Every structure is written in C-alpha cells, then in structure tokens.
Amino acid sequence: MAFGRSSRAGSGRPGGPAPVEPLTLKILVAGGFGVGKTTLVGAVSEIRPLRTEERLSEPGRPLDDTRGVEGKDTTTVAMDFGRITLREDLVLYLFGTPGQDRFWFLWDELAQGALGAVVLADTRRLADCFAAVDYFERRGIAFVVAVNCFDGAERHPAETVRQALDLDPDVPVVLCDARERSSAKEVLAGVVEHAMDLARARRAPARA
C-alpha cells in the first residue's frame, strides 16, 4: 500500500480531461502512550477514522504508565486508520500504532510498505518515544519527530529536543498541535518530503 495508484480512473466526463490517478502512500504515526496519535489521525482524516480504543482496565494499570496523562482513560489496542488527500495526485493512508510495549508485535505488520513515519513526542515524557525512534532507525524508515505542544507543557526549542533524543542531523524535528488539522497536515507533508529526499539521496551514485 505504500506506493500505488488509486482506482478513481474512469470517473471523468466523456470528452473531458483524463482523470487524475493519485499516488497513494502509507504513513505511520507512532510514539509513546498518550502522546496524541489517535488525536492527530482524527484531526486530519477526511473519512471517519477507524479506531480500536478500549477503556483502561484495573489489571492493566501496572503496565500503562499514566503519569503526565492522568486524564486518559482509553488506549489503542490495534491501530488507528485514516486518509487524507494532500494534493489531487497524492493521498496518504495513515496508520496509528499502539503505544504500549505489549502491542509492539503489531508494529512489523503495520510498517510493511510504509513510506515514512511521524514520531510524536511529549516533552513531559520524552523517553517514551525512544523505542519508536530506535525502531525506525534500525529499519531505515524515514521519520520526522513532531513535538506535540500540550497545554501547560514546557516548550523547548527543536534543537534541544534533537540533542535529548540523540537524533541524526538529517532527522527533521518540528513543533505541532495534534488537535489542529493544519498543523498535523504540515507534519505529514514534511514526512513525505523528507522520505522523498532520502530516497533520492540513496539512488544518487556515490561520488568518486
């Protein structure tokens, strides 16, 4: 699903211009528990997003660290799914990953064919996104770190976050509000641009 053409062809009027067949790309939205993945997918999706959320249970309390997100009472147990058209010829399918360790077995399946990923970060719980950063680095999947600016959370410069996460210089770090469609859309456009830049760089012949 990472690269393909939509099946919208044939919907044009007789004698009119040929309909555009948009390229469809798969993007992952990852990060720690309660960082805003479901919120981001829901904010930008042009279809009703698929959500697999369940209420936090008493047996799960030792496993689900809610420090800093005490108001959260649900969790994603499989994935979130949404779709957004960035341009007439470019459609993104969004897959939000579950944040807890016990659901990581799903990540390999979700990552199949992904063009790139967003790693959402919360500066109050920055260590929670280390696992996602490590996952994409090890698999060579292009990713952008997006710091979700929660109400009341201390703001830090992007470069400070980069140093704290020990990111490579070419990994983009941006500030965003996962609740705002325009902000989330800019993050997704940045993922596509970054992934395309990396793909071009990898195809370029090495200099002698």
Residue-by-residue DSSP string for 43-98: HH-SSPPB--EEE--TTTTTTS--TT-TT--EEESS-EEEEEEEETTEEEEEEEPP
Query: Residue 56 in contact with residue 77, Cβ under 8 Å?
Result: no
Report which of residues 25 and 68 the model is more confident about: 25
| Degrees to nearest 5, angle at CA 120 with 116 and 124 | 160
| pTM over the 0.85 mark | no
Q: Establish if 208 belongs to a structural domain.
A: no
* pLDDT tens sequence across 164-206: 999 999 999 999 999 999 999 999 999 999 999 999 998 887 5
What does the pLDDT average to over 131-145? 96
The answer on pLDDT for 208 being more than 50 is no
CA nearest to 27, candidates 184, 183, 148, 176:
184
The first and second tokens of residue 200, run together, are 């071009």
Q: Establish if 113 belongs to a structural domain.
A: yes
The answer on pLDDT for 76 being more than 50 is no
Q: Establish if 86 belongs to a structural domain.
A: yes
pLDDT band at 99 (very low <50, low <70, confident <90, very high): low
Q: Establish if 206 belongs to a structural domain.
A: no
Q: Establish if 47 belongs to a structural domain.
A: yes
Q: Establish if 44 belongs to a structural domain.
A: yes
Q: Establish if 68 belongs to a structural domain.
A: yes
Q: What does the pLDDT read at residue 205?
A: 73
Q: DSSP E strands: which ranges in 77-199?
A: 80-87, 90-96, 116-121, 142-148, 173-176
* CATH number, residue 67: 3.40.50.300
Q: Looking at the 3D structure of the chain, how many domains does it have?
A: 1
- Chain centroid to Cα 110, Å, comes to 12
Q: What does the pLDDT read at residue 16?
A: 63
Q: Establish if 100 belongs to a structural domain.
A: yes
Query: Chain-wide mean pLDDT for the chain?
Result: 82
What residue numbers bound the domain in which 157 lies?
Answer: 4-8+20-201
Query: Residue 149 in contact with residue 177, Cβ under 8 Å?
Result: yes
The answer on pLDDT for 59 being more than 50 is no
pLDDT band at 152 (very low <50, low <70, confident <90, very high): confident
